[in-house]
Amino acid sequence: MKKNLWQILQVVLGIVIGALITLTLVRYREERHLVKTRYTDWRKLNLVLDLVQKNYVDTINREGMTDAAVVAALAKLDPHSVYLPPVQLEASQEELAGNFDGIGIQFNVPNDTAIVLEVIAGGPSEKVGLQPGDRLLKVDDKVIAGVHFPQDSMVRRIKGPSGTEVTITVKRGPEEIPFKITRGKIPVHSVDAAFMLSDTVGYLRLGKFSRTTYDECHKAALQLKEEGMRHLIFDVRDNSGGYMDQALLLSNDYLSRGDTIVYIEGLHRAREVYKADGSGKLQDVGLTVLISENSASASEIFAGAIQDNDRGQLVGRRSFGKGLVQEPFFFSDNSGVRLTVARYYTPSGRCIQKPYDNYYYDIYNRYVDGEIFSADSVKLDTTDIHRTRSGRIVYGGGGIMPDVFVPMDTTRASNFYIACNRKATQMRYAAYVFDRYSARILPISTFEDMDRFLSILNLKVEFPAWARKNDGILCTEAEWDESAPYLVPQLKALIARYSKLGENAFYKYYLPVDTTLEAAEALL
């Protein structure tokens, strides 16, 4: 009996000792892999990347993993804090720099062949003889016409460092002509158009806030003032912003000494208040600012300064709603981070930054909710109340509401017009007209001469016939009557831009059917 008990005890002791040894080994292994982490010093992120490098089963792409980790981390902040790899950083800087390396043309691709719309004055292409209306066939030996060549790839092939050569082969009439062009620095204009609407009313359209924006706007506005302008309609619709300092300089031109333009503040940025210094040359000019749902950032700083100081009226639709200030940080591998460091506030103290939820679907939601078509559908934060200098109520959050709301006009969108838009029929017809009359169109440099030329075109007969023959689009008499008030100005604008008048001609002829501009003019 005692022998049996001893045998049982031996078995039990063996099991216990074995369990203890196993537990010790497990704990040893766990302790080997237990890494102490703290969130406060980013230690966990560094350790994870280090563990992957030392233990992962396959070879890893360290560059790709690092970039992915950075992108994921910044995505937890706000929509405008972003990582920019070298190629993207270069492109973003070039877009706002005010110049780039290239050959100096603006082109469009209405039908699988790029057509030159503008040859930049003084640029490499003008010096060798390229003209508006030329069709781009080849870049060096690469065929780019009629082969569905991607437009962004086309741009990359044409652009290149200053001093390098490229051969552009164009079709001009029946001829194919090669041009050897030495690339150079090409100015990028932020002012799309500036001209007089009447004897006393000027119009200026600003496309973006680049490094040259203030100088361009200042020069253009003073020129209009010399031509008799007493009131300026300043158009920043669809202007997505850019450099903040240019918005400050631009606002300073129109505001009185001591007027607040904007102030910025962040957790690690003390409040900075920017005021007008009274040196502006356009303080005596009446002002109306046109804004839209795509007016953002620097354009909202300008619009907010004008509205809150009661310097002029805002006309259009609620702006985008970007009230954040970014600062760039650069790395030695030519990549960088654009990081939000502060919020900006309009003179009345409102931050117009919209919520981050569904950020990039917000504009779409405005269409769905009917805001684009009715002021009654606009969702304002009526709890965030501020007042302009004269005591008018304005609201913070979600963009800037204009003083005069103008809904989007969809009443003229006939079936014929929509069908033409789908196939870019208007643009290709304009190119066809240029081919027929290039010798007459190219030299035109005044609106009076352009009016005389356009008067000889029987658009009512010719355009529907061309649309039927080339695109198979039929147009009844009733559809033409419905479409013509909107379509004819567009056709004239597209044809006129091939002349020396360029983009000024496009906007001059197109704007008469612009309901927002019409509302602004009615206020005068």
Show which residues are catalytic: 297, 308, 322
Strands (DSSP E) contained in 396-503 are 404-405
Distance CA 346, CA 396 (A): 9
Are the C-beta atoms of 143 and 153 separated by less than 8 Å?
Answer: no
Are the C-beta atoms of 183 and 215 separated by less than 8 Å?
Answer: no
DSSP 353: P
Q: How many other C-beta atoms are found inside a 10 Å radius of the C-beta of residue 185?
A: 13
Are the C-beta atoms of 160 and 90 separated by less than 8 Å?
Answer: no
Helix (H) or strand (E) holding 138: strand 135-139
Which residue's structure tokens are 């030996």?
Answer: 141
What CA–CA distances, in Å, run from 444 to 95, 132, 448, 511, 513?
Answer: 30, 12, 9, 20, 23
Are the C-beta atoms of 223 and 191 separated by less than 8 Å?
Answer: no
Distance CA 320, CA 301 (A): 12
**CA angle, residues 222, 226, 229, in degrees to nearest 5:** 85
Q: How many other C-beta atoms are found inside a 10 Å radius of the C-beta of residue 74?
A: 18
